[in-house]
Structure 1
């Protein structure tokens, strides 16, 4: 199936590894012009070189800290300078932030900045060009809605869900779709750290009907479709990619 992404200009955050890297690769394999951003230039360069060696169009790269409002503006500006006006934004940067009642305000502020405010601000930078073109895609990689314990990142992701839902209603008539994807246990640096091999079998047996942790490609395949013109009638959604985990109370 031709997803009609050839030449589409895409910006992917959190793209140096894991889910973000898989999404950026998936878009590049469809012929999109991809700008990948993350904090680690060396990792970004190594990843981009690997794709180029495999015959995939090499992504453009921009480094920056998504918790810094000034750097978010710079990232958006550099991405547009490198590729042209951004048509597809993938907000993937984020990370779990377990907290306790004793943690200070700065912990909550950092979690909200990374997991909600950064994505909102970046969208606000790229939306004028999308609105002028009357076409655009914003896709947010968010988080679970059934927390097992207090986690500041999940509170921030909940805010991202509702922000995206409201914005999708405002912009639907302008040809801009906005969707969110809630990953379950997808193999990544963070998941490998939090779920050692000795604990996985019991977790899977209890919570994941599919019987295994997902791979980044399991999620990126959906993102690439939602980024395409073929997904024009899908907006304002929250789609779990979790092997059925959310349906077992995990």
Structure 2
């Protein structure tokens, strides 16, 4: 299927690893001009090399810490200084934030800034130009679950999904779609190194929770994101699509 992404300018946040990296590679393979962003420069430079080695256009590389209050605005300003409009925005930056103390205000604030406010603020900075042109795609990587322990990321991701529904309804008549992708257990450093650091732990979780019998691959999540970002997905908006191998239980 031709996703008609050739020449589209696609920004992927949190692009240094995992789903973000795979999404940037998928967009480049479709002929898009990719803009990649993360906190650290070296993995973005390695990604840029991989994209060009695979025959894609050299991506634009921008570092930004979206957990900082002004991080989204600084990233948007950097784009505007380069005179780059954005056709596709993938708000992928985020991460689990388990709390040692359930009333840690600083940890709650940081978790919400990264997992909800960053996506909201970056969208608010970049969506007006999409609306003016009458075309745009916004895909938010969410994954809200009900956890057994306090984790600042889980209610933040729930807020992201709720806000995305309102944004989708507001933008739909002007050619801009807003959707969420909710990954389950995907083979990434966060999952493999932090949540399930041993093979035994992975096998036990899979046996109890995942009918597909395995963790997913970043490229599988990236394929869904690329489709939602495409020309052919223009009648899909306001949705949250899980990609979790048919998970029976997501609390942990």
| Length-normalised TM-score, structure 1 | 0.95
* Deviation by residue 1:190-244 (Cα, 9 ceiling, x = unmatched): 0011212121111101000000000001100000010011001100001000000
- Tell whether 2:82 aligns with 1:78: no
CA distance in 1, matches of 2:45, 2:6: 23
- Tell whether 2:228 aligns with 1:226: yes
CA distance in 2, matches of 1:98, 1:191: 13
The correspondence for 1:209, drawn from 208, 211, 216, is: 211
Runs of 5+ in structure 2 lacking a partner?
A: none
In the other structure, the counterpart of 1:113 is: 113
Aligned residues: 249
In the other structure, the counterpart of 1:122 is: 122
In the other structure, the counterpart of 2:31 is: 31
Q: Say which SS state the counterpart of residue 69 (structure 1) adopts.
A: coil
Q: Verify the 8 A CA contact 1:177 1:234 in the aligned structure 2.
A: yes
- Tell whether 2:154 aligns with 1:157: no
CA distance in 2, matches of 1:233, 1:83: 29
In the other structure, the counterpart of 2:202 is: 200
What's the C-alpha RMSD, in Å, of the aligned pairs? 1.4
Matches within 5 A, 1:130-169: 130-169=130-169
CA distance in 2, matches of 1:146, 1:224: 27
Change (3 A) 1:52 1:249: closer
* Deviation by residue 1:17-43 (Cα, 9 ceiling, x = unmatched): 111000111011101111000011111
Q: Verify the 8 A CA contact 1:33 1:83 in the aligned structure 2.
A: no
Q: Offset of 1:64 from its aligned partner?
A: 1.0
In the other structure, the counterpart of 2:17 is: 17
Change (3 A) 1:64 1:126: same
* Deviation by residue 1:149-187 (Cα, 9 ceiling, x = unmatched): 221101100000000001111111011100001100001
CA distance in 2, matches of 1:69, 1:186: 28
| Stretches of 4+ aligned residues off by more than 4 angstroms | 100-103
In the other structure, the counterpart of 1:99 is: 99
* Deviation by residue 1:8-61 (Cα, 9 ceiling, x = unmatched): 011110001111000111011101111000011111111211221222222111
Runs of 5+ in structure 1 lacking a partner?
A: none
Q: Offset of 1:248 from its aligned partner?
A: 4.3
CA distance in 1, matches of 2:250, 2:59: 39
Q: Verify the 8 A CA contact 1:6 1:32 in the aligned structure 2.
A: yes
* Deviation by residue 1:62-85 (Cα, 9 ceiling, x = unmatched): 001102233321211222444621
Q: Offset of 1:145 from its aligned partner?
A: 2.3
